[in-house]
């Protein structure tokens, strides 16, 4: 049996939406200060400010990579203003595994980066 659940293993081995966009509307990158792992999230928006495509890149642990993969799948098609309010619990539930408190920051790193990037964009 693996340390992590099947969903985490699968998304970590075959991350969805890994890569960069040529000309993203939103790009934000940040680091988990606890470990130094880094993730960049890029979004392209439709003309009515809905998320069209989301991509991510970074040096990430298994949990953070799976969370980034799942998050970029889940936010496609939603209004960008709502992405800033994406619930933490929804992302944690999507991982389908018990995330120990010490690893919670790993799971939520991409969401922190998404929120910061969207907040900056909303203030522009
Ligand atoms: Fe660094 Fe998970 S150990 S984000």
Does residue 4 have a pLDDT over 90? no
Q: Judge if the beta carbon of residue 66 lies within 6 A of ligand 1.
A: no
| Residue in 61, 100, 110 to alter for ligand 1 test, most ligand atoms within 8 A of Cβ | 61
Helices (H), 1-124: 6-13, 62-75, 80-83, 88-94, 104-123
Q: If pLDDT is split at 50, 70 and 90, which confidence band does 2 have?
A: low
Residue whose CA lies nearest to ligand 1 atom number 4: 106
Strand partners, 38: 31, 59
Q: What is the mean pLDDT of residues 27-52?
A: 97
Could you tell me the distance, in angstroms and rounded to a whole number, from the CA of residue 14 to the centre of ligand 1?
Answer: 18
Calculate how far, in angstroms, residue 99's C-alpha sits from the geometric centre of ligand 1: 12
Check pLDDT > 80 for residue 49.
yes
Does the pLDDT value for residue 1 go beyond 50? no
């Amino acid at each position: 049996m693996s340390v992590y659940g099947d969903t985490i293993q699968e998304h970590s081995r075959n991350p969805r939406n890994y890569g960069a966009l040529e000309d993203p509307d939103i790009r934000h990158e940040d680091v988990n200060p606890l470990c130094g792992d880094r993730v960049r999230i890029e979004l392209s928006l439709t003309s009515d400010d809905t998320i069209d495509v989301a991509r991510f890149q970074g040096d990430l642990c298994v949990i953070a990579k799976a969370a980034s993969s799942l998050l970029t799948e889940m936010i496609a098609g939603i209004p960008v203003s709502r992405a800033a309010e994406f619930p933490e619990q929804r992302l944690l539930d999507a991982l389908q595994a018990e995330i120990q408190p010490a690893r919670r920051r790993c799971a939520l790193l991409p969401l922190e980066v998404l929120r910061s990037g969207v907040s900056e964009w909303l203030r522009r």
